Chain A
Amino acid sequence: MSLRAGFRQKAGAALWRRPWLRGALTLSPPLLWFLVIYLTSLVVMLITAFFSVNSLTGNVVYQWTWSNFSQIFTQSVYGSIILRTLLMAILVTITDALIALPFAFYLAKVAGRRWRQLLLSLLLMPLWASYLAKVYAWINILSNKGVLPDLESHLGLPITHIAYTNTAMWIVFSYLWLPFMIVPIYGAFERVPNSLLEASSDLGAGSWQTFRWIILPMVLPGIVAGSIFTFSLTLGDFITPLLIGGSSSNFIGNAIYDSAINGGNLPFAAALAFVSIAIMAIYLLLAKFAGAFEAL
């Protein structure tokens, strides 16, 4: 046996006998990455939220202050931005859940095997196709000289003017996040055994009763998991509000983007990010109670 092979065998045996050593070697690189890069950055950001910026030099002043937060909570413009973001997140989440529920139900429990395979593979493209491409497509559809008004005038229908409105944003957000709602709900439906549905109807339950008392409780974690995505994605977006919503539709994301990138006020942006983390944290806690993490 060569020296090198002997070493490898010994090292292998040593590792095999010490599971903790194997575990430590396996886990330390990814954990170090997350601790050093991700968590440290989050902590730095959260601390930055309590600093301020010298208005003359634009440098960060490393002195503890609540001024960013008091500005957010006293100036009504930020209140309305937060409220607008939250309302849109809730509205989009409900819209997507209402579309995704019957769609996923059909996919998992009604459609034949081939048809289901086809629909599932068709879902992949809109799920993964470029985000910006989709937003850009919607600009082309909704704008005043876009595809939708054009089609409407060809068909002699009344023309809708929804470009750069909150309605446009609602449609586009619902479109963008719909696949993210469908996938976890479909997963939840797949986990509902057919025998349970048969038992329910054998025992005399109607379709609606079966849906209400058997299916809905079992797919609820899937709905909550999907809603985590729709919520978090809406909360963090600044591109759709900017490109679809127009001038008076700022979201928390836009306020963060404006102060960090354009305004050079990183502490204030950090304080705003703090607010969206707080909203997400509350939401995640509620989701945890609903048992959604298993479905994530």
Chain B
Amino acid sequence: MRLSALTRTALAALAVGVVLFLFAPLVVIIYFAFGKSNVQTFPIHRWTTYWFSVAWNDPAVRSALWLSIKAGVAATAIALILGTLVAFGIHRFKFFGRDTVSLLLVLPIALPGIVTGLALQSAFNLAGIPFSIYTIIIGHATFCIVVVFNNVIARLRRTSMSLIEASADLGATPFQTFRLVTMPMLSTAIVAGALLAFALSFDEVIVTTFTAGAQNTLPLWIFGAIRLGQQLPEVNAVVVGVILLTVIPIVVAARISSGEGLGGAGRL
């Protein structure tokens, strides 16, 4: 359709405005993290990396970071295996209830996170399972599965079965086909899915609130500190660290998978 020059300019201006709006708070937070004073003042007069070293040497932040990394890696590992399996299952096999399975996978992200969190808490309570890193991992893995699933199934849908059939026709065993044909086709999608799952787990706070015991993950530490209004300059530094640790995997994932599965359902 033909748009007038005015409409085009207005749309372009709107697009730039939206991007600026989306970036402004991130810029603000990064800006504050390098300010010297104890209170947030604007504009900043002295620049420093002091608060980064304070945060890095804070034992509470350290142990929260370590817990977040451990939980994120474990949840990602589980999500990687289960998400890849279910993607294969749904792509390769036609069976009764296939749509129900797809719906089930989306449910932890289509329902509010607080529902998943409270449901797990109720079940752990009833079963007498104490809250620990394991309960955190179970919660995270449950909503990370769909991220890996989305990435792998998107790739499976774009690759043709004929390569796999050709491999079998040429005498490869199913294991050889899997190792030499299927896996190389899927590897970047799987790695990208894993990176996204880790980023999602590393940042999650709502489900974690309900499945963590006395220990803090990094987001729980941040939430607590903001609520109490304490250590705010340190929070700035920690928050910038978290942004980096979630955005870096995303950028890598986007590079290796040419952007498939990066938006929409997966993020939730």
Contacts and interface: CB of A to CB of B under 8 A. Distances in A.
B3 A207 contact: yes
Interface string A26-63: 11011101100111111011001000000000001000
A136 B235 contact: yes
Interface string B86-103: 101110110100000101
Contacts of A284: 110
A266 interface: yes
A277 B111 contact: yes
B114 A136 contact: no
A12 B25 CA distance: 55
A175 B112 contact: no
A275 to B, nearest CB: 10
Given A30-B145, A44-B122, A133-B26, A236 B82 contact: no
Nearest to B81: A29
Contacts of A39: 104
Given A23-B93, A200-B1, A270-B118, A106 B264 contact: no
B250 A128 contact: yes
Interface stretch (B45-53, B54-62, B181-189, B199-207): B199-207
B126 interface: yes
A140 B93 contact: no
Name the residue in B32, B90, B93 with the highest tally of chain A Cβ atoms < 10 Å from its Cβ: B93
Interface in A216-257: 225, 228-229, 232-233, 235-239, 242-243, 253, 256-257
Interface in B167-189: 168, 173-175
Given A136-B239, A235-B112, A187 B264 contact: yes
Interface string B18-50: 110111111011001000000010100000000
Nearest to A121: B254
B223 A150 contact: no
Contacts of B70: none
A207 B2 contact: yes
Interface stretch (A70-78, A160-168, A177-185): A177-185
B251 interface: yes
Interface residues of A, number: 105
B267 A127 contact: yes
Contacts of B206: 236-239, 253
A124 B92 contact: no
Nearest to B10: A102
A135 B26 CA distance: 10
Given A48-B122, A207-B3, A233-B112, A23 B95 contact: yes
B125 to A, nearest CB: 6
B11 A106 contact: yes
A41 B31 CA distance: 43
A64 interface: no
A8 B175 contact: yes
Given A236-B115, A273-B118, A130 B219 contact: yes
Contacts of B235: 136
Contacts of A122: 19, 22-23
Contacts of A102: 11, 14
B118 A256 contact: yes
Nearest to A32: B82
Nearest to B102: A293
Contacts of B226: 132, 135-136, 139, 243
B227 interface: yes
B254 A236 contact: no
Contact of A103 (B15, B90, B113, B243): B15
A88 interface: no
Contacts of A29: 81-82, 85
A265 B29 CA distance: 37
A232 B111 contact: yes
Given A197-B1, A242-B227, A127 B263 contact: yes
B219 A175 contact: no
8 contacts: A38-B142, A119-B19, A124-B262, A126-B22, A133-B26, A179-B263, A269-B118, A277-B115
Given A130-B239, A260-B121, 13 more contacts: A13-B173, A45-B118, A106-B14, A122-B23, A130-B242, A131-B205, A133-B239, A133-B243, A137-B29, A187-B264, A210-B1, A228-B110, A233-B112
